[in-house]
């Protein structure tokens, strides 16, 4: 085991990914901050990690492209020397009812949210197998467990991440590699902040905690799953949803 572990967090220029990257940086990981189109935001995340005494580098890649997704992992390993932790957080939405959904909206969401995780996992597993150690966390969603109308593409991608995690956990658990998924519920974000008050109130009625979650609470869960203490947690889906 190396003293400093290296972590790649996809889609970490904003939102949950940003919170996860900052949390891992504070925990002592060297963090690869990934972005698709927000380079300056990713640089800000890396700067914040460094300002708190951590180490970080910025990597750009369009994860809807299979070659770029695989290449991203290889570039991180080339620069860092190894990769102990992979957090697949990158995701997009293109919502709509099934009957009106365009083929390209289905394809782009599945490519970015699910296919990219397959390619990054496949590239990272090779390095982790040699080290006989690894932590992979795939960021699913409560809708991947419960479903949600108007999001058949997004729901399918998030449910797919759960299946991917469970299968990989069984394939590589004997090599010291754990693969888990987290399923966040309603988390405070730019999107939830823009919801009408009546809609927010209706959602809150279904949350026993009585509030939306914070990105930092999701990040703390990811940080634990990435740690050596979580070595006997494998193939699990952890809901961070206030009891929904």
Query: Which residues are tagged catalytic?
Result: 154
Q: Choose among 97, 83, 76: nearest CA to 34.
A: 76
Q: Which residues contact 110 (CB under 8 A, 6 or more apart)?
A: 153, 156, 157, 160
Residues in the chain, total: 244
Distances (CA, A) of 97 to 46, 92, 105, 155: 38, 16, 11, 12
Bridge partners (DSSP) listed for residue 165: none
């Amino acid at each position: 085991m190396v003293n400093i572990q290296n972590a790649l967090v996809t889609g970490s220029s904003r939102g949950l990914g940003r919170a996860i990257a900052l949390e891992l940086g504070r925990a002592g990981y060297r963090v690869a901050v990934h972005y698709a189109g927000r380079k300056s935001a990713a640089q800000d995340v890396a700067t914040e990690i460094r300002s708190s005494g951590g180490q970080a580098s910025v990597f750009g890649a369009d994860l809807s492209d299979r070659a770029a997704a695989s290449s991203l992992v290889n570039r991180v390993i080339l620069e860092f020397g190894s990769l102990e932790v992979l957090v697949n957080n990158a995701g997009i939405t293109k919502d709509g009812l099934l009957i009106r959904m365009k083929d390209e909206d289905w394809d782009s969401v599945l490519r970015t949210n699910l296919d990219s995780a397959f390619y990054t996992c496949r590239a990272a597993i090779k390095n982790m197998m040699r080290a006989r150690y690894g932590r992979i966390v795939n960021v699913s969603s409560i809708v991947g467990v419960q479903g949600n109308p108007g999001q058949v593409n997004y729901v399918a991608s998030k449910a797919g991440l759960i299946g991917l995690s469970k299968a990989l956990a069984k394939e590589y658990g004997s090599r010291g590699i754990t693969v888990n998924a987290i399923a966040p519920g309603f988390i405070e974000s730019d999107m939830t902040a823009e919801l009408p008050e009546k809609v927010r109130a209706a959602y809150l009625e279904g949350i026993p905690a009585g509030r939306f979650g914070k990105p930092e609470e999701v990040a703390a869960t990811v940080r634990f799953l990435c740690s050596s203490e979580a070595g006997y947690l494998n193939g699990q889906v952890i809901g961070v949803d206030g009891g929904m």
